[in-house]
Amino acid sequence: MLEKFRNLKLFEGDSAYSQLFRTYIVGAFNLVFGLGTSYIFQFFVFNLIEIPLRTYLTNIFSFSIGVIVSYFLSRRIIFKLPMNEGGFKEFVKFFITNLINLVIPLFIWYLIDLIRPSIQDNEAEFLMAIILINGFILPIKYLIYKLFVFKDSLNN
């Protein structure tokens, strides 16, 4: 069954639809990974730090770890590029692009802190907010990756 699923054209093709589909697969993995790191930082590592500073630090540390993992997964899975190529310039573009994943959530958490700060204390509401925020950002990131970050590697 898994082999049948793996052989779908969406996994193997190089069309924009295939790449966008794989973006959602990588995005789902990144989301689960990010949820895990966010949960660990928010409720264990930084649990002695007051909210909202705890949430801001959680986002910064989760982002830092996640962007490295995401870079290699995006190269290999979404765009089918070798993981050991791309160079520092490409990584810097990827990092800058992924600041979207840091700045927008921090801004949204700032608004949440103004409107309903209790979301940051409730584990289920905290995780749901992260899912919604990241789901909104994902298609925008795909376009930026394709047209800006990995453009040179894809044209070679």
Q: Are 144 and 70 in contact (CB under 8 A)?
A: no
Q: How far apart are CA 57 and CA 37, in angstroms?
A: 12
From residue 35, alpha-carbon distances to 38, 101, 128 in Å are: 5, 13, 10
- For 39-97, what is each residue's pLDDT tens digit? 899 889 988 998 889 988 998 899 899 999 999 999 999 999 998 888 899 999 999 98
Query: What per-residue confidence (pLDDT) applies to 123?
Result: 84
E strand or H helix at 21, and its extent? helix 16-40
Give pTM, 2 decimals: 0.72
